[in-house]
Structure 1
Amino acid sequence: MRIVVTNDDGIFAEGIYHLAKALQAIGEVIVIAPSTEQSAKGHSITLHSPIMVKKIKFFDTDFEAYAVDGTPADCVKLAIEAILKDRRPDIVVSGINNGPNLGTDVIYSGTVSAAVEAAILGVPSIAVSMATTKIDNYDGAANFACKIAKSILHIIDDQSTVFNINYPTCRPESIKGVKVTTLGLRKYCNSFDERKDPQGNSYYWVSGTALELEQNQDSDIVSIKNNYISISPIHFDLTAFNTFQRLKDWSIEL
């Protein structure tokens, strides 16, 4: 099995190192990730400037590895359609993200968007994130991702499906199990801190606090809160099918 590993925290983040090391047990690992942090870049791609790619030494490993001066989606596009065009990967695994990718946050996530880009290009994919940014150990999440990656080709029947995994950061003995979940609802109370540059122009630092919202009990947010590993199958078809069916019955005239 040929496995491309990527992320949005940057190629020298701790999470991607532990993920890549675990995945070498099941296949050939090739690391292609952003040279700098690209968190919350969503599914943006680079069109109006060149994308620099540099082959690097990846920590203490001998993995084939490339640092990309671009976004997570750029990394996956380059991996599948350029760098490995004659060695097409069997799977793309994105992560391990330093923090959660729950609910509607997946829209903003570079980690998830990298996995979605793989699915668009017809390659099975997994996104892996930790439930908080207070992380003592990535090994549990890395080993779990390895188990899913090993069996994913036998699990999915639609390569447009992405497995979005969120892993609890509690003690290993406190993890209650695994749940297949829906995406929950995430909204924030945002704060914009206005400052002035030397010329008097305004600029802003944005931060936000997640609101406590009522959630479906099958959601990823509830599962993580209760110390379950969450696996949400997601896909890139954003069609609102219920509305689509109703609109088909409209009599719309020019």
Structure 2
Amino acid sequence: MACGALLTFWSSGVQARMQPSETPARILITNDNGIEDGRLVALAEAFADAGAEVWVAAPAENRSGFTNYAPATGEGVFRVKSVIMGPRIRAYAVDGSPADSVVFAVTGPMRDRPPTLVVSGMNGGANAGESWIGSGTVGAARTAAAIGLRAVAVSGVPSRPVAHHRAAADWVVDLVRAPIVSELQAPDYVTVSFPELPLDQVKGAVLAPRANRFVDAVAEKDGQSGEWETWTLKPLGISEATPGEDMEVMSRGFIAVATMRVGDMELDRMAALARRADVLPSWTPALAAPSCPLGVGVEDAAAGARVFQVAPDGVAQAIGLKSGDILIQVDETNLVGLDSPVRTMSDALAGKSCGSEVALRVQRNDVVLELTVRRLRQ
């Protein structure tokens, strides 16, 4: 697709909209601003009015900048509550990130019939150029695409005036009917960035690659509080936008639409490197043996090996050995009456390692104790 080519007609009202084709039957909508954001509600209502079965799973609170981070998914526990949003819309507030919201929906209430499309947005702040990397809106779409679902992320829709929300939402409905989305296959996904303009000043939508503008900056130390220093990042300049890239077309009043793909692997280079034998060092680890000694000083005694010192934080202290205790048996080895009970005990412990289970019989005054050691090394 040629960069800068007209994608679809944009209208701030209901006139001159493109002829609709089939609306995806089952839509999952999420965002990163939170489920109460009016732009998400407008989007859900627009798809419901277009005849779609609409599900919403979105963060209970603002989770902007969470990228693909999914803490609830990592813990394996989702805390959610049902939200009343309108007719033909089932909605859940999720105590988690945008990515968590997607995973919850497709593994929970939508598991038996997954969504035919995931739409993330609409939120403010266009995720154009390099800013998409930190976007929770784009992160939710990436998560959906990684799962194997078609996905679109929509950003940059202003919060005011509220009356414009529905116009933007209606255009998104048209967008998902258009070939750029209807022919989409995961792991590809689509991002949409509105320009920072009132919607009645938007000129149209174009396909535009993402700008990769280098920002020259310097971080300078300008304060300290205790051990912590404060360094302030000061931009020195930014490279010019290249004609046809998203930042440039947005500056001219156009919506920038880009096709993206999940996965940062460079497969061609990896395949070339795999044919060589010298690209990776050999694995010859020299691992130190774990040490978890009994942690006692012992000396020979007629009744066995007498403890005269117990090391702090050692195994002996943990199992309750005390100075003056006499070790009379180690596993099946009896230490009583030997010429060198300490030497015999050392031989009995030879070969034991961390995790070995060793039975000890200990005499304390007139009482014989039986102890089990599970972390022992000679």
Which of 175, 180, 193 does residue 148 from structure 1 map onto? 175
CA distance in 1, matches of 2:251, 2:170: 21
Is the CA contact (8 Å cut-off) linking 2:205 and 2:256 kept in structure 1?
Answer: yes
Matched, 1:174 2:198: no
CA distance in 1, matches of 2:61, 2:234: 23
CA distance in 2, matches of 1:126, 1:167: 13
Report the equivalent of 2:123: 97
Is the CA contact (8 Å cut-off) linking 2:119 and 2:153 kept in structure 1?
Answer: yes
Look up the equivalent residue of 1:83 and give its one-letter code.
P
**For 2:142, what is the secondary structure of its paired residue?**
helix
Is the CA contact (8 Å cut-off) linking 2:126 and 2:195 kept in structure 1?
Answer: no
Task: Give deviations 1:103-145, integer Å, cap 9, x for gaps.
Answer: 22212111011111111111111100116x5643323321221
**For 1:83, what is the secondary structure of its paired residue?**
coil
**For 1:119, what is the secondary structure of its paired residue?**
helix
Number of equivalences: 249
Specify which structure has the bigger relative contact order, considering alpha-carbon pairs within 8 angstroms and separated by 6 or more residues: 1
Report the equivalent of 2:101: 75
TM-score, normalisation: structure 1: 0.83
Shift of 1:83: 1.7
The structure whose Rg is larger is 2
Change (3 A) 1:211 1:84: farther
Matched, 1:160 2:184: no
Look up the equivalent residue of 1:176 and give its one-letter code.
K
TM-score, normalisation: structure 2: 0.58
Matched, 1:30 2:25: no
Where do residues 218-229 of structure 1 align in structure 2 (5 Å cutoff)?
Answer: 218-229=244-255
Identity of matched residues, %: 27
CA distance in 2, matches of 1:152, 1:210: 42
**For 2:119, what is the secondary structure of its paired residue?**
strand
**For 1:237, what is the secondary structure of its paired residue?**
coil
Is the CA contact (8 Å cut-off) linking 1:187 and 1:210 kept in structure 2?
Answer: no
Report the equivalent of 2:156: 130
Query: Aligned Cα RMSD in Å?
Result: 3.2
Change (3 A) 1:225 1:88: same
CA distance in 2, matches of 1:8, 1:220: 22
Gaps of 5+ in 2: 1-24, 283-378
Shift of 1:49: 6.7
Look up the equivalent residue of 2:134 and give its one-letter code.
Y
CA distance in 2, matches of 1:223, 1:90: 30
Gaps of 5+ in 1: none
Change (3 A) 1:194 1:169: same
Task: Give deviations 1:42-94, integer Å, cap 9, x for gaps.
Answer: 10112237320111222x55621100001111111111122211121111000
CA distance in 2, matches of 1:206, 1:36: 29
Name which of structure 1's ranges 89-98 and 47-56 shifts more when overlaid on structure 2. Answer: 47-56
Look up the equivalent residue of 1:66 and give its one-letter code.
Y
